[in-house]
Structures are given as structure tokens and as C-alpha cells.
Amino acid sequence: MSRIFTPKVVTANALLEGDVVYLTEDGTWTRRLDEAELIEDEAIAQLRLIEASAQPHRIVGAYLAEARAGRTGPAPGHFREGFRARGPSNRPHGKQAEILDV
């Protein structure tokens, strides 16, 4: 039984900084989830993941993360992805320190 494909983004951690990055439509990496490419087709998602995994000099551990269409771009599809996109909830560190409108 095939499951319905839900939208994804390609995400990973940057090799040098270790922080969360997302693949954009033009194949570059961004640190903002809302700038990522929201992929709604399973075959394309697999292809984009292969492209991403072929960049071990930039990133570590690429995978497809649940996402949904938000107001300004992709938004987290699971609370874990929410923390990855923002940073920890006990300190104002991580992305929330650099990006104001998350």
C-alpha cells in the first residue's frame, strides 16, 4: 500500500558550523527554512536528496524533513523540525538569535 506523499524539504547540518541548512530551488544551501524548496513530488524529492548527499564537503546527514506551505515559505511539519529551524527553547541561541521573524 503506497502512502500519500506529504511535502518535504531537503535538510542537513553544515559540515563546518554544524548548524541546520536547507536546500533551495537553485541547488544552493540556506540557513532559513522559509527559503527552502518545498517539494511536493516524491520522485523529485528523492532526486534532490541524491543531489544534496553528493555534497559531503558542505553538509552532513542530508534527509527529507516534513514541511508544509507557510505564509512566507516552507514551515516545519513536525515539532522537531520547528526546533531545528529556530533553536533551543531554553536559551535564545541558534537561528532565532540571527533571524528575527521565525
Among 18, 43, 100, 101, binds other proteins (CB under 8 A): 18
Distance CA 38, CA 25 (A): 8
| End-to-end Cα spacing for the chain | 37
The reply to whether 17 sits near other proteins by the rule CB under 8 A is yes
Report the residue number, 24 or 55, with the smaller CB distance to other proteins: 55
Q: Which stretch binds other proteins (CB under 8 A): 8-16, 22-30, 32-40, 43-51?
A: 8-16
Distance CA 49, CA 72 (A): 23
Q: Which stretch binds other proteins (CB under 8 A): 3-11, 17-25, 34-42, 43-51?
A: 17-25
Distance CA 99, CA 9 (A): 19
The reply to whether 79 sits near other proteins by the rule CB under 8 A is yes
What's the min distance (Å) between Cβ of 43 and other proteins? 25
Q: Are 22 and 10 a contacting pair, CB within 8 Å?
A: yes
